[in-house]
């Protein structure tokens, strides 16, 4: 049911209630109107009886004046006509009362009495004429007798009967009217009580219906709007009705569901955007940190390069100065024999070898950075590499009493690699160990095979690596500054070359050392495919 229909029914209920009240008032007024008309008729009859008595007395007085004044014919007729008019009026009032009593066709004794009284009044004309005749003939006593018996007594009798009949009848009618009024009052009270009950029931029913169908849904909509205003988008309005408020409630629920979905979508989008921003920020931060680290490394490399060039200038200038000095001494000593010249040339050859190795290392690093060094991989037996390194190690610079102790398995240990580059990497590690090994100590060159990998270890008993040297041992151009603890190692070219070679063979190289406790350089590479583990 639509709200318009409900409102119309509510208004119709009010209209019906008002109509019932008006009908009750009209019915009550109708009952009282009949009673009032009946009372008014009774009053008019009594009043008319009084006027009849007055006119009868006037007629009697006019006839009596015949004894005094004489002929009063006009006045007597006027008084008689007035009395007859009063009687006729009495007849009309009785008929009106008959009409009110719904007894129009029934004969009433009152009407008969009025008719008789009119006849009596008309008979007075005969008595008046007799009185006039007796008076004109001088028979006054007889005229007086006729007046007393025919006029005065007859008029008194007419009035007495008329008054008594009318009074008795009207008293009864008044009593009936009063009783009817009392009954009407009781009915009016009952009707008022009934109307109050009916109006109360209709009003309460109307209020209940309006509250249930309009006010309650409106309150639910208001509560829903308040809840949504507080951010509670899960609030729902349960209105089973199919009217406009029910449709509005269902549309409200759809609206809140759409808003909730949009809010969840926005929250998810915001979360995704926040996550993306965080990821991008993290990436930028990582890149910034990496860039800062790269800048630090570049600055460190630049500083290392500067230090390296300073050191290498010193390293190159020292042997060149020695070469120049020995050559000048040999030239100035014109008396030098062949042995002296032979010794000078031997020193010159050693220094040139040292300079040559340094230049070879520099060229290797430059070529490795440019990517022009080719690594030709073949199946290599590491025992052969170790044997070649041992042969080269005999000619390396070392202190007196330093010995090389090899250790290798009997079964061949095979890897996939470039034999010349592998020999160079192992030789660099052994050269470092021999140069720094104290007198009368042993440098151990060990080859082993474990868990699918080949391992080459070079262990010495030298000064070991300081903390700075251990962290930057494989950094190109690294050389410990004079302000730092220094183990006496060189320019930092050999180990960086060895690391580059090992990296090209998918291996690793690491150093275990502590200051004053020697060092262990360990090279690990995967075995060749099909090699016995």
What's the pLDDT tens digit per position in 261-298? 888 888 888 888 888 888 888 888 888 888 888 888 77
pLDDT at 484 over 50: no
In this predicted model, what pLDDT tens digit does every residue of 495-506 receive, in sequence order?
Answer: 888 898 899 899
- Among 53, 50, 74, residue whose Cα is nearest residue 62: 74
* Domain assignment of residue 178, yes or no: yes
* Domain assignment of residue 156, yes or no: yes
Instruction: Check the CA dihedral 364-369-373-374 and report its sign.
Output: positive
Q: Domain end: 184, 207, 222, which one? A: 184
Q: How confident is the model over 54-63, as a mean pLDDT?
A: 72
The string of DSSP codes covering 3-16 is HHHHHHHHHHHHHH
Cα-based distances in Å from 48 to 97, 103, 113, 501? 14, 22, 15, 157
* Domain assignment of residue 257, yes or no: no
Between CA 143 and CA 153 the distance in angstroms is: 14
pLDDT at 84 over 60: yes
Q: Is the pTM of this model over 0.75?
A: no
Question: Between residues 1 and 414, which one has the greater pLDDT?
Answer: 414
Q: Domain end: 160, 184, 208, which one? A: 184
Rank 123-127, 154-158, 199-203, 398-402 by mean pLDDT and report only the highest: 398-402
pLDDT of res. 68? 65
Phi/psi at 101 (5° precision): -90, 5
pLDDT at 489 over 60: no
Q: How confident is the model over 32-42, as a mean pLDDT?
A: 66
pLDDT of res. 86? 78
What percent of the chain is modeled with pLDDT above 70? 71
Domain with residue 391: its CATH number is 3.30.565.10
pLDDT of res. 139? 79
Question: Between residues 262 and 108, which one has the greater pLDDT?
Answer: 262
Q: Domain end: 184, 212, 233, which one? A: 184
- Among 488, 399, 396, 487, residue whose Cα is nearest residue 441: 399
* Domain assignment of residue 367, yes or no: no
Between CA 193 and CA 189 the distance in angstroms is: 6
Between CA 473 and CA 459 the distance in angstroms is: 16
Question: Between residues 128 and 448, which one has the greater pLDDT?
Answer: 448
pLDDT of res. 483? 36
Q: Is 52 helix (H, G, I), strand (E, B) or coil?
A: helix
Question: Between residues 113 and 249, which one has the greater pLDDT?
Answer: 249
* Domain assignment of residue 478, yes or no: yes
> Tokens 């037996």 — which residue?
381
Cα-based distances in Å from 485 to 169, 171, 460, 480, 494? 155, 152, 19, 8, 20
Angle CA 308–309–312, to nearest 5: 80
Q: Which domain holds residue 48?
A: 8-184
pLDDT band, very low/low/confident/very high, at 491 (cuts 50, 70, 90): very low
Between CA 348 and CA 261 the distance in angstroms is: 89
Between CA 346 and CA 212 the distance in angstroms is: 122
In this predicted model, what pLDDT tens digit does every residue of 367-407 receive, in sequence order?
Answer: 666 666 778 889 999 999 999 989 888 777 788 899 999 99
* Domain assignment of residue 343, yes or no: no
Q: How many domains would you assign to the chain?
A: 2
Which alpha helices (H) appear in 137-236, and where do they start and end?
A: 140-146, 153-210, 216-229
Between CA 8 and CA 12 the distance in angstroms is: 6
Domain with residue 119: its CATH number is 1.20.120
pLDDT of res. 192? 77
Between CA 150 and CA 158 the distance in angstroms is: 12
* Domain assignment of residue 307, yes or no: no
Rank 52-56, 173-177, 316-320 by mean pLDDT and report only the highest: 52-56
* Domain assignment of residue 85, yes or no: yes
pLDDT band, very low/low/confident/very high, at 488 (cuts 50, 70, 90): very low
Largest CA distance in the chain: 237
């Amino acid at each position: 049911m639509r709200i318009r229909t409900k409102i119309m029914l509510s208004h119709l209920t009010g209209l019906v209630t008002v109509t019932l009240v008006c009908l009750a008032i009209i019915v009550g007024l109708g009952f009282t109107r009949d009673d009032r008309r009946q009372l008014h008729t009774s009053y008019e009859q009594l009043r008319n009886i009084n006027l009849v008595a007055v006119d009868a007395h006037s007629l009697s007085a006019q006839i009596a004046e015949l004894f005094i004044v004489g002929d009063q014919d006009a006045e007597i007729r006027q008084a008689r006509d007035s009395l007859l008019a009063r009687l006729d009026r009495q007849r009309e009032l009785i008929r009106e009362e008959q009409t009110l009593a719904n007894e129009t066709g029934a004969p009433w004794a009152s009407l008969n009495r009025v008719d008789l009284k009119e006849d009596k009044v008309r008979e007075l004309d005969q008595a008046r004429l007799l009185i006039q005749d007796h008076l004109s003939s001088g028979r006054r006593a007889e005229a007086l007798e006729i007046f007393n018996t025919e006029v005065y007594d007859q008029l008194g009798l007419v009035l007495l009967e008329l008054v008594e009949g009318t009074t008795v009848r009207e008293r009864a009618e008044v009593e009936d009217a009063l009783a009817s009024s009392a009954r009407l009052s009781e009915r009016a009270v009952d009707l008022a009580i009934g109307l109050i009950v009916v109006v109360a029931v209709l009003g309460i029913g109307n209020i209940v219906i309006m509250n249930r169908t309009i006010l309650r849904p409106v309150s639910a909509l208001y509560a829903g709007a308040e809840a949504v205003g507080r951010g509670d988008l899960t609030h729902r309005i349960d209105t089973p009705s199919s009217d406009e408020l029910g449709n509005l409630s269902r549309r409200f629920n759809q609206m809140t569901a759409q808003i909730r979905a949009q809010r969840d979508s926005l929250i998810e989008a915001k979360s995704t955007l926040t996550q993306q921003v965080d990821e991008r920020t993290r990436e930028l931060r990582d890149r910034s940190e990496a860039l800062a680290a790269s800048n630090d490394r570049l600055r460190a490399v630049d500083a290392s390069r500067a230090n390296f060039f300073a050191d290498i200038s010193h390293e190159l200038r020292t042997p060149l100065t020695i070469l120049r000095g020995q050559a000048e001494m040999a030239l100035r000593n014109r008396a030098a024999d062949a042995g002296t010249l032979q010794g000078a040339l031997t020193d010159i050859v050693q220094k040139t070898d040292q300079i040559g190795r340094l230049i070879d290392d520099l060229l290797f690093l430059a070529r490795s950075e440019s990517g022009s060094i080719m690594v030709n991989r073949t199946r290599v037996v590491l025992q052969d590499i170790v044997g070649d390194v041992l042969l080269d190690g005999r000619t390396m610079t070392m202190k007196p009493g330093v010995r090389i102790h090899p250790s290798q398995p009997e079964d061949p240990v095979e890897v996939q690699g470039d034999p010349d580059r592998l020999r160079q990497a192992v030789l660099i590690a052994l050269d470092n160990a021999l140069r720094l090994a104290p007198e009368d100590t042993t440098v151990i060159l060990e080859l082993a095979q474990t868990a699918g990998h080949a391992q080459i270890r070079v262990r010495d008993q030298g000064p070991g690596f300081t903390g700075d040297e251990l962290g930057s041992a494989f950094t190109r151009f690294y050389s410990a500054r004079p302000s730092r603890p220094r183990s006496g190692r060189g320019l930092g070219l050999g180990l960086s070359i060895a690391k580059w070679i090992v990296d090209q063979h998918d291996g690793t190289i690491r150093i275990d050392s502590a200051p004053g406790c020697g060092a262990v350089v360990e090279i690990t590479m995967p075995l060749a495919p099909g090699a016995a583990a």
